[in-house]
Amino acid sequence: MERRFGSTRLVLVQGDITRQAVDAVVNAANGSLLGGGGVDGAIHRAGGPAILQECRELVKRIGRLPPGQAVVTTAGRLPARHVIHTVGPVWRGGDRGEPALLASAYRESLARAEEAGCRTVAVPSISTGAYGYPVDLAAEVALGAVAGRLAAGSPLEEVRFVLFSTGDLAAYETALDLLEVAGGR
């Protein structure tokens, strides 16, 4: 599924984010930046030790990465040029600022990608694995945040949501359909 917001394509695919030949892939990291399971584990396994090395140096400089923020490192051996590490919110019922933090994680990630001169970016479904964010709700927030930023004007050519399961892809497709009713093209 594919839609245009501003001059950027927003694409939904099912797949493995470590296999995407794009300028940057976004990692659903945790604040320690020292690796974990899910997307994070897959990115470090496929990209090799250069990514973790740079994460360690970043943490020495800036400390833990707070939820909603994003930083850039090398992509090591991945078929991408950069990894953008962001931290989503842990789901605690939805009334503890989770939607705003999730939206910020996407917007900050796109901001880092633009600053790094990227044209194409792959993003995962942040917070919906270990962090427990219900995928239907996360899809609405994620797509709303990304589409809003793109509609305001962006040098990015493509933002590709890479969803791991058919269920996740279906949730994002439904949310993108509803978003169109709200004004997307």
Look up residue 89 and give its two tokens.
């919110």
Residue 102 or 179 having the CB closest to ligand ADP = 102
Residues of span 32-91 touching ligand ADP by CB under 6 A: 37-40, 42, 88
Which one, 106 or 164, has the nearer CB to ligand ADP? 164
Please say if 16 is a catalytic residue. Answer: no
The closest of 62, 61, 144 to 103, measured between CA atoms, is 144
Interface pick for ligand ADP out of 12, 28, 72, 143 (rule CB under 6 A):
28
What would the DSSP string read from start to end of 112-145? HHHHTT-SEEEE--TTSSTT---HHHHHHHHHHH
Catalytic residue among 40, 95, 168, 177: 40
Is position 10 an interface residue for ligand ADP (rule: CB under 6 A)? no
67: which 2 tokens? Answer: 């939820």
Q: Which is nearer to ligand ADP, 21 or 182 (CB)?
A: 21
Map residue 61 onto helix, strand or coil: helix
Question: Reading across the β-sheet that carries 2-5, which strands appear in turn?
Answer: 2-5, 8-14, 158-163, 120-123, 24-29, 82-87, 70-74
Handedness of CA 43, 49, 54, 59 (dihedral sign): positive
Question: 101 or 185: whose CB is closer to ligand ADP?
Answer: 101
Among 5, 106, 161, 164, which residue sits at the site for ligand ADP (rule: CB under 6 A)?
A: 164
Residues forming the site for ligand ADP (CB under 6 A): 16-18, 28, 37-40, 42, 88, 124-131, 162, 164, 168
Query: Which positions are catalytic?
Result: 40
